[in-house]
């Protein structure tokens, strides 16, 4: 696991300076505190920071082919490298290390641009091919590892984190106003957007090929939901178990201690179960919890019970953080704001894990693959909601719900919150309903909130149309797989783990598992109102019964309550009338109404307020004269 950087001048007569590349790498030391390395040749410069996981002594990067003609910098892991090395050696390739990085370089040497078809893993990488005068930059299929780039008339710059790109004096940290509305709609910035003018994300499953002055960005992998699997339910259940087991087996490869995050859910429990089945030895597990009054977020008791049953070396942390101090630090580490409180939880549990291990396995991705989100139930609810006359829903049911308090920290009032959102959108077509249901700030609210608004690309329609399945559930899940999974959940998982120099691995997102899950019939994901139908069947006879008896909890923090208490002073500082008027981006009366409604529990505006708070911290951190030294 590393951080990579690169600088390429389109004018081949211009020379990259070594200190330019080093300055970029120095900004991401946290991603690789064990080593650094650089390659500079005329108009190309590559650099890396290394967190040593495989071949601790011999894995120094950049790595070159024996003739020096091709060189690679690599962030991540390719888990099947040992499968390919013998065949490459039979074909005459010579190796000087035991690393996966060198195998990836020789896969390119052997197969050219098709080399990524042979790689199973998570990565951001760059290869300089001197004979072809070609630079290849690529991101893994699902987007587990981040990769950003900046391009102007004279150069192309790329890095694992935006702060490294901003280390170049010629790249200024400026707001891209057109992306602000995108951020407020989704609560994150989906690829290729970022909030920085001129800086973009390389989308998952894409490569960038630079030859001379020509820059080509193209997909090398596409997910298909067809044809649907036709085997029996029993056969598919057994096949899924073996596939998950093989994915975990691959991801246990490391020359350093590793462990697993453990909540009370089926995803993390499944990973620990498979680790034990595979003989991983003494398993280290880590759980985070909250104090009294936050039962909706607390998973410590159930996780502790599971850890005892499985004999793991279990570690727990009870969160009572100084959130007002921690928030600015973590937003700076993220590079971009997100309206998802799990970044705080992920950082704290990662910091706990880093005390004893260097690699952690996480259950991220299970919801998107097997149908774990309650919002997927809308597909079924729609069939019943249409039976209720529209006038009754609008004039009676909606008014009743509106009269009740809404608060996600209360089990009852959280159902009120969810019911309100559903009833308001029940008459819309599926893509517009899902857009309204999942938008952090609604379209109407964005119009009232922003002093200037533009056209927001309709990614719901784009990905609904791009999905090759006619099934509504498949389309919802495909949208999540292309947007919130890589650019929200995986991004914050990567950044928060790497902030403490911890490598996070996600076995459910082995591309073989993703492809298998996509082709499952939808009734094996959502059967009636039962979520995760097949995934639960896989572990039904393997888990203790209590795992299935628990209510689903989101992996997040009680931000809505904290805004009213621990974060109150910070919130009113960042969203003050004087500050918003000086900034000129938001209408203060709209923000004031949100705050008033949230504090009096008439509406739960947790997501909207978190989006604004995170944005303001980001704006204060990066878009000021001192940003170059503090970010």
What DSSP letter does each residue of 419-465 carry, written as one string? Answer: HHHHHHHTTS-HHHHHHHHH-SS-HHHHHHHBSS--PPP-HHHHHHH
Q: Tell me what pLDDT residue 327 has.
A: 86
- Looking at residue 43, what DSSP letter applies? T
Q: Tell me what pLDDT residue 558 has.
A: 81
> Under 8 Å CB-to-CB from 147, ≥6 apart: which residues?
124, 137, 138, 139, 158, 159, 160, 201, 202
- Looking at residue 473, what DSSP letter applies? H
- In angstroms, what CA-CA distances link 584 with 189, 338, 449? 21, 21, 11
Q: Tell me what pLDDT residue 25 has.
A: 96
**Residue 310 is inside which H or E element, if any?**
helix 300-310
Tokens 């393997």 correspond to 542
- In angstroms, what CA-CA distances link 283 with 83, 170, 252, 280, 310? 26, 47, 11, 7, 9
Range list for CATH 3.40.50.620 in the chain: 233-372+475-549
Name the residue among 59, 141, 30 with its Cα closest to residue 506.
141
Q: Tell me what pLDDT residue 56 has.
A: 63
Q: Does domain 233-372+475-549 have CATH number 3.40.50.620?
A: yes
Six-digit token pair at 103?
A: 């195998």
Is the CA virtual torsion 248, 251, 257, 263 positive or negative? Answer: negative
Q: Tell me what pLDDT residue 296 has.
A: 55
Q: Tell me what pLDDT residue 419 has.
A: 67
**Residue 568 is inside which H or E element, if any?**
helix 568-574
Range list for CATH 3.60.20.10 in the chain: 2-176+197-219
SS3 217: strand
Whole-number Å distance between alpha carbons of 136 and 319: 43
Q: Tell me what pLDDT residue 383 has.
A: 62
For the domain 2-176+197-219, what is the CATH code?
Answer: 3.60.20.10
Paired strand residues for 125: 74, 138
Residue 227 phi, psi (nearest 5)? -75, 155
Tokens 């504090």 correspond to 599
Q: Tell me what pLDDT residue 246 has.
A: 98
Q: pLDDT below 50 — which residues of the chain?
A: 626-631
């Amino acid at each position: 696991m590393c951080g990579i950087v690169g600088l390429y001048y389109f004018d081949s007569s211009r020379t990259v300076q070594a200190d330019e590349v080093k300055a970029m790498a120095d900004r991401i030391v946290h991603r690789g505190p064990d080593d650094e390395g650089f390659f500079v040749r005329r108009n190309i410069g590559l650099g890396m920071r290394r967190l040593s996981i495989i071949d601790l002594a011999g894995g120094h990067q950049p790595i070159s082919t024996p003739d020096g003609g091709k060189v690679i910098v690599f962030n991540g892991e390719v888990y099947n490298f040992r499968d390919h090395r013998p065949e490459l050696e039979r074909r005459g390739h010579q190796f000087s290390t035991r690393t996966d990085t060198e195998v990836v370089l020789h896969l390119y040497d052997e197969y050219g641009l098709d080399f990524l078809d042979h790689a199973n893993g998570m990565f951001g990488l760059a290869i300089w091919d001197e004979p072809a005068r070609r630079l290849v930059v690529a991101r893994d299929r699902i987007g587990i590892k981040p990769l950003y780039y900046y391009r102007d008339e004279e150069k192309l710059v790329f890095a694992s984190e935006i702060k490294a790109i901003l280390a170049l004096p010629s790249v200024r940290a400026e707001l891209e106003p057109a992306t602000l509305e995108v951020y407020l709609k989704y609560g994150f910035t989906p690829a290729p957007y970022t909030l920085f003018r001129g800086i973009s994300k390389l989308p998952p499953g894409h490569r960038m090929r630079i030859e001379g002055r020509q820059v080509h960005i193209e997909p090398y992998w596409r997910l298909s939901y067809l044809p649907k699997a036709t085997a029996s339910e029993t056969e598919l259940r057994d096949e899924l178990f073996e596939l998950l087991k093989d994915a975990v087996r691959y991801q246990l490869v490391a020359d350093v201690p590793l462990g697993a995050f453990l909540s009370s859910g089926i995803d993390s429990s499944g990973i620990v179960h498979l680790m034990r089945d595979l003989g991983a030895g003494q398993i280290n597990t880590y759980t985070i919890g909250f104090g009294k009054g936050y039962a909706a977020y607390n998973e410590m008791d159930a996780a502790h019970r599971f850890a005892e049953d499985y004999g793991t070396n279990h570690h727990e942390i009870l969160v009572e953080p100084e959130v007002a101090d921690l928030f600015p630090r973590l937003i700076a580490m993220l590079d971009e704001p997100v309206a998802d409180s799990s970044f705080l939880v992920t950082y704290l549990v990662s910091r706990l894990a880093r005390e004893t291990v260097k690699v952690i396995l996480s259950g991220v991705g299970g919801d998107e693959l097997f149908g774990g989100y309650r919002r997927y139930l809308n597909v079924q609810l729609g069939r019943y909601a249409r039976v209720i006359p529209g006038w009754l829903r609008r004039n009676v049911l909606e008014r009743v719900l509106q009269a009740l308090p809404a608060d996600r920290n209360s089990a009852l009032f959280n159902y009120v919150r969810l019911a309100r959102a559903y009833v308001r959108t029940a008459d819309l077509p599926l893509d517009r309903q899902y857009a309204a249901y999942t938008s952090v700030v609604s379209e109407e609210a964005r119009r009232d909130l922003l002093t200037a608004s533009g056209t927001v690309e309709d990614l719901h329609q784009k990905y609904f149309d791009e999905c090759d399945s006619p099934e509504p559930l498949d389309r919802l899940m495909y949208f999540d797989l292309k947007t919130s999974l890589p650019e929200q959940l995986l991004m914050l998982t990567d950044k928060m783990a790497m902030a403490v120099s911890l490598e996070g691995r996600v076995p459910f997102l082995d591309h073989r598992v993703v492809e298998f899950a996509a082709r499952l019939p939808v009734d094996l994901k959502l059967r009636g109102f039962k979520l995760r139908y097949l995934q639960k069947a896989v572990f039904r006879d393997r888990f203790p019964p209590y795992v299935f008896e628990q209510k689903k909890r989101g992996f997040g923090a009680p931000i809505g309550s904290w805004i009213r208490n621990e974060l109150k002073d910070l919130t009113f500082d960042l969203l003050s009338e004087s500050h918003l008027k000086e900034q000129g981006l938001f209408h203060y009366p709209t923000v004031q109404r949100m705050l008033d409604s949230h504090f009096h529990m008439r509406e739960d505006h947790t997501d909207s307020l978190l989006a604004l708070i995170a944005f303001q911290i980001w704006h204060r951190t990066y878009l000021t004269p001192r940003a170059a030294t503090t970010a």
